[in-house]
Amino acid sequence: MSCWDVVADYGLRSIGIGERLLPRDDFTLCKQVVLIGSGMIWNVYFGILALGAGFFLATALAVGKASKVTALRKLSEWFIFVFRGSPLFIQFFFAYFLFLALKSVSPLFDPFSAAWLGALIVLFFNTAAYSGEIFYGALLSVPKGDIEAAGAYGFSGWPRFRRIVWPTMLRLAWPAYTNEAIFLFHATTLVFFSGFPAWQQRGDALYYASYFADKTFNPFVAYPILAGYFILLTLVVIAVFGAINRHLNRHLPQEHRAGVRYRPNLVR
Amino acid sequence: MNKILFGTAALAMSASMALAQDVVRLGTEGAYPPYNFINDAGEVDGFERALGDELCSRAELTCEWVTNDWDSIIPNLVSGNYDAIIAGMSITPEREEVVAFTQNYTPPSPSAYAATTDGIDLDTAVIAAQTGTIQSAHVATMEGATLVEYPSPDETVAAMKSGEADAVLSDKDYLIPVVEESGGAVMFVGDDVPLGGGIGMAFRQSDPELREKFDAAIQSMKDDGTLNAMIVEYLGEDSPKF
Amino acid sequence: MCYLTTGKHMAFYGSFGTVLLLLAITAPVALAFGFGGAMAARSRVAPLRWLGKAYIAVVRGVPDIAFFLFFVIALDQLFEWLRHQAKCPDWDAAIRQGNDFVVCPAAKLPLSSSPQIWHEAYGFSLAVLTFAIVFGAFAANVLFGAMKAVPRAQLETAEAYGMSHRQTFWRILVPQMWVYALPGLSNLWMVLIKATPLLFLLGIEDIVYWARELGGSKTPRFTDYPHGDWRVYYFGALLVFYLCFTRVSEIVLGRVMKRLTHGQATMGGEAQRKAA
């Protein structure tokens, strides 16, 4: 069996397409690389959707935390505190428990106890809290002069936020936000590891890596493959976020442009 | 890897032992009653605790109990962090390629399904099993059934009780207390499934002398009937005997 | 003797101490690794610089959990192999026998005749080392950034006063970099706290291990205190513990930051000066 056959059989195994049974003997390097790579589909899925949705909630949380309305401020502060102050591991446990309980209330909640939705919601809240804190910090550092200048040009309320404050906030927050994105992708490995059950052996990259480590009784092949995939993914994230960063800073004189520095400012 | 001590086995120090005998470290999981579990006092307890202590005293060895996570229990054995596994481990051909088993100390005992109602069609049901066990491998091969995997045996039973899964497939000996203590809420369904070739102790393949000693001790317990008595005491009357 | 004082619960309470002790030891060790990594990454010797940068990039590009799953065994085998080379040069049997890893008895770590406490201590130090290697890479990155953030003028002035490269580094750069490093390092501390639930992967029986063990449903056959699935209560206790711990850390680190910024030529220091 050539390696291409393996790709055809197992390339999409993690979403239930292809061979039904996982490899049971003859664990070649090719099989391990393909199947673990197939699992990466889930890591990318969780990462992209949680980041995309979390971005908007994070903006709302940052504005909420800076708000003068006490109720809004307290709500945002508590949300951020609870999700930043506790391990993701424990958040997954409670979410799964809660979703199971809700299930008995109404069949509407049925999909929530499955990883594709339940874990996504936890990751979404989690990244929103972390990014919200980053955005809040950036919001406070928006130069006073910018806002005064906006006022002089007749901007106020929503247009001022949309056109002046928000872009500046993003520009300031971007390096730290890049790190948050990287760590969110890393955090997706916890989904099947601690929180949610794997159905029909459809799992993420770590699930398959531990499957192979378990079958071959040798952890020194499967986990380094997993590590290799994540280094690649990290490089891609840095490239994409770097491009966005250049876009955000395109109006600044060359020497003032801050590169995306991969620094763990706010990580989990 | 795991170095937490739960209790030192009965010391079989005969006066004639001139040589300072090295301590034999026995690795177990501590989460699989009635075979092995952590009792209220925080010590390893259960069938395998009693069996292991008896084997050590017959082989005139000093033994120590160590617990280790199931997932890494074999890598840590071959890496030399303890000397034997005694953790309800079924003898399978795949495992025999990596470790050396003694003869089995329980006869091949079946796996069984448990569920909350008996009207379940196992061919199309959602069946829970522990990740990386012979049971999960078995459900994976069943055409119409849906496998759902949990990291610990405890969670598989919890999933069946909460309705996440229709049934749970596990060692029958593990499920017997679950069914009996549930007061009728949980019952066995379908036929028992014969999986695995009985449970044995696992050793490094490079360590044949130690394996021989325990193998001989198991044989002597089989011969004088103490092993059967122990099976009845810990695993129940219904469990298969030698 | 009641439910909450069983030996198992005592072990659970004790594991909080284990976690705190591990954090207390890991933090300085990781900082040392970070300092070494940052120094290597800005070294003028090219191979050392590549090594430092590779360490930072690779370890940070990989989820910590992936390291935890195989690092402890790898480190253990590495140490035993090194000892084997040193202590048993005459040993002729292969170390790798099929799947087995066999070193001479004198090279075992700890010696198989040593008391259990040494096995525990060894396992604990391997866990500390694994944590320190992983979080050291993050610390290295923070310190590397902090060293770059110290105004160049400060270093140029030092050189103008005739300080050597080494003197400039130790007397000017290192004392000044902490204020730039502290925000990053305090975040790292928070991350470290929140990574402790993964300790059970390293073979430490930590609070999550015991919460799971105690919370799982128990039948009367195996315990005097049978109960249903109580994991939610035990995990609830852990949640409270972590929230309190991170909150206290935040407050303490905030105070330290205030102290450090005092009199510094940064925005924070300027604000303090104006407020006074």
B158 in Cβ contact with B136 (< 8 Å): no
Question: Which of chain C's residues have a Cβ under 8 Å away from the Cβ of B40?
Answer: 6-8, 223-225
Question: Which of chain B's residues have a Cβ under 8 Å away from the Cβ of A109?
Answer: none
Q: Which residues pair with B62 in a beta bridge?
A: B23
Q: Tell whether the model's pLDDT for residue B12 goes beyond 80.
A: no
Question: Which of chain B's residues have a Cβ under 8 Å away from the Cβ of C201?
Answer: 69
Record: contact C60-A84, CB cut-off 8 A: no
Burial state string for C26-65 with b = 16 or more CB within 10 A and e = fewer than 16:
bbebbbebbbbbbbbbbeeeeeeeeebbebbbebbbbbbb
Three-class DSSP category at B36: strand
Compare all CA atoms of chain A with the CA of C181 and give the residue at the minimum distance: A265
Interface contacts (A, C; CB < 8 Å): 109
Distance to chain A for C162, nearest Cα, Å: 30
Q: Tell whether the model's pLDDT for residue C226 goes beyond 60.
A: yes
Check CB contact of A86 with chain B, cutoff 8 Å: no
Question: Which of chain C's residues have a Cβ under 8 Å away from the Cβ of A264?
Answer: 60, 138, 141-142, 184, 187-188, 191
Report how far residue A257's alpha carbon sits from residue A171's, in angstroms, rounded to the nearest whole number: 10
What mean pLDDT comes out for the span C7-29? Answer: 93
Domains and CATH numbers, chain A: 3-13+26-256 (1.10.3720.10)
A-contacting residues in C 216-255 (Cβ below 8 Å): 231-232, 235, 238-239, 242-243, 246-247
Q: What is the pLDDT of chain C when averaged over all its residues?
A: 87
pLDDT in tens, A17-71: 888 888 887 889 999 999 999 999 999 999 999 999 999 999 999 999 999 999 9
Of C11, C120, C217, the CB nearest to B3: C120
What does pTM read for this prediction? Answer: 0.87
What mean pLDDT comes out for the span C169-173? Answer: 89
Domains and CATH numbers, chain B: 5-107+197-235 (3.40.190.10), 111-193 (3.40.190.10)
Distance to chain A for B180, nearest Cα, Å: 25
Question: Which of chain B's residues have a Cβ under 8 Å away from the Cβ of A23?
Answer: none
Report how far residue C160's alpha carbon sits from residue A39's, in angstroms, rounded to the nearest whole number: 57
Check CB contact of A50 with chain C, cutoff 8 Å: no
Residue B216's pLDDT is what? 95
Q: Can you give the pLDDT of all 268 residues of chain A as single tens digits?
A: 688 888 888 999 898 888 888 888 788 999 999 999 999 999 999 999 999 999 999 999 999 999 999 999 999 999 999 999 999 989 999 999 899 888 888 888 888 888 899 999 999 999 999 999 999 988 888 888 888 899 899 988 899 999 888 999 999 898 889 888 998 999 999 998 877 888 888 999 999 999 998 888 888 899 999 999 999 999 999 999 999 999 988 887 765 555 444 444 433 4
Record: contact C232-A219, CB cut-off 8 A: no
Compare all CA atoms of chain C with the CA of B73 and give the residue at the minimum distance: C203
Record: contact A268-C232, CB cut-off 8 A: no
Interface contacts (A, B; CB < 8 Å): 49
What mean pLDDT comes out for the span B181-199? Answer: 86
Q: What is the pLDDT confidence band of residue C70, given thresholds at 50, 70 and 90?
A: confident
Distance to chain A for B69, nearest Cα, Å: 12
What mean pLDDT comes out for the span C133-149? Answer: 90
Determine the CATH number of domain C3-271.
1.10.3720.10
Chains that touch B (3 or more CB pairs under 8 A): A, C
Of C8, C205, C219, the CB nearest to B4: C205
Check CB contact of A198 with chain B, cutoff 8 Å: yes
Long-range own/partner contacts, residues A162-171 (CB < 8 A, 24 or more apart): A165/A139, A166/A59, A167/A248, A168/A142, A168/A143, A169/A62, A169/A135, A169/A138, A169/A139, A169/A142, A170/A135, A170/A138, A170/A248, A171/A248, A171/A249
Residue B41's pLDDT is what? 87
C-contacting residues in B 166-225 (Cβ below 8 Å): 177-178, 181, 204-207
Q: For residue C92, what are the CA distances in angstroms to C85, C88, C103, C109, C140?
A: 11, 9, 10, 20, 41
Check CB contact of A219 with chain B, cutoff 8 Å: yes
Which phi and psi (to 5°) does residue B82 adopt? Answer: -150, 175
Record: contact B162-A100, CB cut-off 8 A: yes
B-contacting residues in C 13-72 (Cβ below 8 Å): 69, 72
Suggest the residue from B148, B160, B168 to mutate for an interface test with chain A (most A CBs closer than 10 A).
B148
Report how far residue C251's alpha carbon sits from residue A180's, in angstroms, rounded to the nearest whole number: 23
For chain A, where are the alpha helices, taking DSSP H only?
3-10, 29-65, 70-85, 88-103, 115-140, 144-152, 157-160, 166-187, 190, 205-216, 219-248
Of B71, B149, B163, the CB nearest to A198: B149
Distance to chain A for C25, nearest Cα, Å: 20
What mean pLDDT comes out for the span C11-38? Answer: 94
Question: Which of chain A's residues have a Cβ under 8 Å away from the Cβ of B140?
Answer: 20-22, 201
Of C99, C183, C242, the CB nearest to A87: C242
Q: Which of C235, C146, C230, C130 is nearest to C187 (CA)?
A: C146
Where are chain C's structural domains? 3-271
What mean pLDDT comes out for the span C195-215? Answer: 86
What mean pLDDT comes out for the span B58-80? Answer: 88
Q: Tell whether the model's pLDDT for residue C243 goes beyond 50.
A: yes
Suggest the residue from A24, A109, A200 to mutate for an interface test with chain B (most B CBs closer than 10 A).
A200
